[in-house]
Amino acid sequence: MSRLAAIQMASGPNVPANLTEAGRLISRSVDAGAELVVLPENFAYMGMQEKDKLGISEQEANGPIQDFMAAQADKHRVWLVGGTIPLQSEDKQRVAAACLLYNDHGDQVARYDKVHLFDVRLEESKETYHESQTTTAGKRVMVVDTPFGRLGLAVCYDLRFPELFRRMATEGVEIIAIPSAFTAITGKAHWEVLLRARAIENLAYVVASAQGGYHVNGRETFGHSMMIDPWGRVLDCLPSGSGYVMAKIDMQQLNTTRRNFPVLEHRKLPCDLPSV
């Protein structure tokens, strides 16, 4: 059985300080036995305004944040899911929210760009978000082989769209990493129930890494980073503050569950059913 970990932070607008904290938590989780570590969304930078991330965006495979992730993976001989970082796109006014996967030699082996962008208004707090103004939407599902199982990548708001995860299921996903920065309000209402639903529906492990706390820009994020098994059981949870959660994943148990409870085989797609 392998040990997987999810890091929780409360990132701010100081990139070096965020990277120092991320490095500290990666080291702690690896010392505790982690073989794959997931960083939260925006782990390296949460600016005062959404547009601020344009100023620290990097070209793919070229920049201090990517150098940091590669070096951490290589140094600790750990697989690392790099939350999200802003990578330059063809649109000079917008960046990609890129989730990068590094192997235990520091090589980038996968990239997933966040598909669903957070354009919402929260009545309770009067918060308004227009992520699409500064971020380009991704267009690809990402499921990749790792030593621990078939790993799918998704980010934060993606969690609300089960179709994305069903597509992962058709590609054999066994573990789903979900770096996130859920707001305090939406997190309290929906975070755990959505995470557990995605695990249950797809009979997969879920590794959910979250921002958690108060940020310099005035934002409050929900935290509650979690590890969830294919039956929907929460294996570990960190309600608030910086730290990490960790759990063992048992692929034999996953395979037994899928064999005894073959939900994925019983699926009937709407396109296969006649209309009334």
Model confidence over 219-248: pLDDT tens digits? 999 999 999 999 999 999 999 999 999 999
Q: Domains, the chain, ranges and CATH?
A: 2-267 (3.60.110.10)
Assess whether pLDDT exceeds 90 at residue 119: no
Assess whether pLDDT exceeds 90 at residue 129: no
Looking at the annotation, which residues are catalytic? 41, 114, 156
Assess whether pLDDT exceeds 80 at residue 142: yes
Assess whether pLDDT exceeds 80 at residue 276: no
Q: Are 199 and 234 in contact (CB under 8 A)?
A: no
Three-state SS at 119: strand
Strand partners, 58: 87
Q: What is the share, in percent, of the chain residues with pLDDT greater than 70? A: 98
Mean pLDDT of 148-163: 98
Residue identified by tokens 């209309």 is 275
* pLDDT bracket for residue 274 (50, 70, 90): confident
Cα→Cα distances 67→73, 75, 155, Å: 10, 12, 21
